[in-house]
Chain A
């Protein structure tokens, strides 16, 4: 999971990032509208947290431009102006949810999880496939109701694949969904994590198939 935080108050952006990184999400921070647009179009974010009051291009404009360019990344709006107009405007422009400042970090986290789930057509907080259950809230994995321990990277890979069960996910997409601006993950590293994950999932009736030249598909066996 990779989230873009667009917020010009640095200490708030950092607090949000720190909270999201706490559940192993990759987080990028930008402080103005122009950077937000560039980043959102360049990387496969799972969600964007967008403050409306930004220097230069404001949040609503960023949102409008993203939607115009066909980006359907779920967007959570942060606003300090609690007016109906602003909320309605934001939602009408294609925001998925909004949160009024000041907010509770736990609520922000829950809403982010919810918009990510919704964007994949899921309603339940537990992702299931084969005999595996992935709890998105406390981030744990069970096979037949027995918890198993997964290293951080494998957990992220599994989450990304589970959300897209039956669909092809490219190696680049997987790599980028786990890195931040300054990080890099080679495709051979992805291959390594995938092969480890395969072994762990074998007893759960799940297989990760490689489609040559395209990527991976998670399938129930």
Chain B
């Protein structure tokens, strides 16, 4: 997660704000252009009117001179508008007849045919002006003399009009944007209210309350809540099994400890040395039992921890490992009169895995056989390759496990005989979990001629 998680509200508002502002700029540009066009149309008409009024008054004297009887009303029309200044000139043959002789003309205005007109922008005395040029011809009896009337005004009023229209449009757009943002902000707030309620409800929960969430949430969030619920269910199941395991483990550890404490207390009270010795031996036996149990629990914890780190597998020869482990039991099996044997095909059976854990698993299987089989029993450790599978099995001809109970025997803390105080109920569970860790499984079947037990670990062989 990033250091500053993005706020949904802020993101929505930003997403909305950027296009709205862009759109507004476009609209304002359009408003500006059309306002300018409209202002020009309106003001140009007045300008033309006053130009025409002047042109009407251009006359040719009898000696062929041009004269203008300037109608001041025509200029009055223009000056009424705001603070604009008005200029004019009348030319004939590009010579000034009357007016401001430095009022700028244009190429178009100088080549106008009579009856034509042109409008253009220019700068005069440091201010922008709008000029209209009207060409005409004044006719006396003998001749017709062409002339051009120029009328110009500064553009202050036009600019004022455009600015006014632009401002009012901008104001309306601004109000619209603010309103839209406000609506989105409130809408998101309102829309997120169920989430806030959900948050409150989850916040008030006790840490071990893993019931699923049953709040009304918007459809968009239902899948998220569904996923959370699924996670909670898995968590609850894991927690439950953890609890069961801890409960079992504590029971298994506390009972032998009780025996140790009770027997030692008795020994300390006892005056009869024989009885005292008996009590101490009982305590020692219970100590050994709890020691073995702790070893098994730690091993199980190691298998659990390894579960997440399958990357640390190494390649090794299963035949080698089985031979070595079985040899370790040779002396004790002779002492206890077991016929312990080892059978393997020639060559090696290479597997990928944790050597130490597989050795522990095999050790557990051999120890199991030696614990539950009577003297003179036959115990055989076998390794072979079966297709792509490596098979490691321990077979005995002892009492075995009834077929209908074989499945549950590899659960943690399940013992065949509940009175069996020596068994931890973890041995086969460890073997199975080691097998599963290696991508395989543990199978319990009857031994040869369905007598005894055959415990078979099958894991993938390395190719």
Contacts and interface: CB of A to CB of B under 8 A. Distances in A.
Interface in A154-180: none
A19 B250 contact: no
B212 interface: no
Contact of B262 (A12, A22, A53): A12
Interface stretch (B146-154, B279-287, B328-336, B357-365): B279-287
Given A81-B247, A83-B247, A101-B254, A8 B418 contact: yes
Interface of A: 8-12, 14-16, 18-19, 22, 31, 53, 55-56, 78, 80-83, 100-106
A18 B278 CA distance: 12
B27 interface: no
A18 B266 contact: yes
Interface string B254-280: 111111111101100100000000010
Contacts of B418: 8, 55-56
B332 to A, nearest CB: 24
B266 A101 contact: no
A55 B418 CA distance: 6
A14 B279 CA distance: 10
B251 interface: yes
B255 A101 contact: yes
A19 B262 contact: yes
Given A80-B250, A81-B251, A11 B259 contact: yes
B259 A15 contact: yes
Interface string B320-360: 00000000000000000000000000000000000000000
Interface of B, helix, strand, loop or mixed by DSSP: helix
Q: Which residue, A11, A18, A80, has most C-beta atoms of chain B within 10 A? A: A11
B258 A102 contact: yes
B266 A19 contact: yes
B420 to A, nearest CB: 10
A105 B247 contact: no
Contacts of B260: 102
Contacts of B285: 11
A146 to B, nearest CB: 27
A8 B419 contact: yes
Contacts, number: 74
7 contacts: A9-B256, A9-B258, A9-B259, A80-B251, A102-B257, A103-B261, A105-B262
Nearest to A18: B266
Interface of B: 247, 250-263, 265-266, 269, 279, 282, 285-286, 418-419, 421
Given A18-B266, A102-B261, A9 B255 contact: yes
A24 to B, nearest CB: 14
Contacts of B257: 101-102
A142 B260 CA distance: 36
Nearest to A100: B254
B277 to A, nearest CB: 14
Nearest to B286: A11
A164 to B, nearest CB: 30
B263 A55 contact: no
Contacts of B258: 9, 12, 78, 80, 101-103
A15 B276 CA distance: 12
B330 to A, nearest CB: 31
A106 B262 contact: no
Contact of A80 (B255, B261, B262, B263): B255
A22 B272 CA distance: 13
Contacts of A18: 266, 279
A25 B152 CA distance: 134
B247 A11 contact: no
B419 A102 contact: no
Given A18-B266, A19-B262, A103-B258, A10 B421 contact: yes
A80 B250 CA distance: 6
Given A9-B259, A15-B259, A55-B419, A104 B265 contact: yes
B269 A15 contact: no
A11 B263 contact: yes
A89 B84 CA distance: 102
B352 to A, nearest CB: 40
Contacts of B259: 9, 11-12, 15
Q: Which residue, B259, B261, B282, B286, has most C-beta atoms of chain A within 10 A? A: B259
